[in-house]
Amino acid sequence: MKIYSAPLQGFTEAVWRNVHSEVFGGIDGYYTPFLRYEHGEIRSKDIRDVERKNNTAKNLVPQVIAATPDEMHPLLELVANEGYTRVDINMGCSFPLQMRKRHGAGLLHYPELVAALMAEVVKHPEFSFSLKMRLGCNSKEEWKELMPILNDAPLRHITMHPRLGVEQYKKPVDVDAFGEFYAACKHPVIYNGDLNTLADIHRIEQQFPELKGVMLGRGLLANPSLGIEYHDGSELDECEQCRLVQRMHDAISRELIPRLQGNTQFFSKMKPYWEYLLPNMPKRLRKPILKATTIEKYQAAVAVALKCDW
Ligand SMILES: Cc1cc2nc3c(=O)[nH]c(=O)nc-3n(C[C@H](O)[C@H](O)[C@H](O)COP(=O)(O)O)c2cc1C
């Protein structure tokens, strides 16, 4: 099976991807957080995130979010200009603001909009398209109406995160509904959702042996060695893990400190990683990292936590 890194706005931007692929590796493809076309433009931050000169991770797939072909065009133009031939279409985003615009999971309620996007996919054979979707926006039956449209479209694979848009991340993933989708989908299928350990990946692989791969999101933020553990067939020793997290952390900080203005910006970027990273770390070590008010105190707290003497 292939192991893919999921797109996570605010977390898996170019700096994280570049450093992760260099320090940990074990990932067969990285997906960018979604690019959007809004108010007649693409945000410069999004453009920078896909520019080739800012990316060193191999097998990078730009992801786009759009409700209509008109919204998708400028995004396709951008990625074509950067030389990409792979594009992933977001039909799973559950941010209420996006869903209200019929973006992401908001699209799943409108088969006619999905059909129009798939007709556009047919018109662009220069790209190899994939989709990332949920079971539905409001009901877990919605994918069934979309299946004939999606099965007819020239897609490379579909990544399914078996929850509803309105559920965001609250309810447990619906593995039985995923099984129904897996049986009905004629394209290769990638599973996504709540895979946090090597055992979780093995369990889903045993249950669905025809999977093309799995996509790891928060589980990879928490345990950045999950991809390499799968490919090597064993878990990484905890001290080696801490050593590599320290390397990754230092490399990301070196990139960000000169770029971000002051401590506040730096902390608002770095501290959220610690909400996920190394879930077995005792709270008494995590707290000083999250509470640090200067970069020096923050770095000292990180070094203490990553000494691996928990
Ligand atoms: C903060 C955050 C940002 C996300 N951004 C994106 C995104 O840009 N595109 C996308 O397709 N999914 C996005 N997702 C969904 C994840 O890619 C993934 O489907 C979800 O987290 C479930 O997988 P996991 O349990 O492995 O994390 C985001 C999720 C979170 C929590």
pLDDT digits (tens, 9 = 90+) for 206-225: 999 999 999 999 999 999 99
Residue 310: predicted pLDDT? 79
| pTM summary value | 0.97
Residue-range domain boundaries for the chain? 2-232, 238-305
143 close to 133: Cβ distance less than 8 angstroms: yes
Which of ligand 1's atoms lies nearest the C-alpha of 132? 11
Residue 261: predicted pLDDT? 83
Which of ligand 1's atoms lies nearest the C-alpha of 216? 26
Rounded Cα distance between 228 and 100, Å, is 38
Q: How far is CA 280 from the centre of its chain?
A: 22
Residue to probe by mutation, ligand 1, list 5, 8, 130, most atoms within 8 Å of CB? 8
Using 50 as the pLDDT threshold, list the residues of the chain that sit under it.
Answer: none
Residue to probe by mutation, ligand 1, list 4, 9, 131, most atoms within 8 Å of CB? 9
Which of ligand 1's atoms lies nearest the C-alpha of 6? 17
Q: In the sheet where 86-91 sits, what is the strand order?
A: 41-42, 35-38, 63-65, 86-91, 128-136, 155-164, 189-192, 213-216, 2-5, 29-31, 60-61
Ligand 1 pocket at CB < 6 A: 6-10, 33-34, 63, 90, 92-93, 132, 161, 192-195, 216-219
Q: Which residue has a Cα nearest atom 29 of ligand 1?
A: 8
Rounded Cα distance between 86 and 185, Å, is 20
What is the Å distance from ligand 1's center to 310 Cα? 30
128 close to 85: Cβ distance less than 8 angstroms: yes
Residue 169: predicted pLDDT? 92
Superfamily grouping for domain 2-232? Aldolase class I (3.20.20.70)
What is the Å distance from ligand 1's center to 8 Cα? 5
pLDDT digits (tens, 9 = 90+) for 157-199: 999 999 999 999 989 999 999 999 999 999 999 999 999 999 9
Residue 217: predicted pLDDT? 98
Rounded Cα distance between 121 and 118, Å, is 5
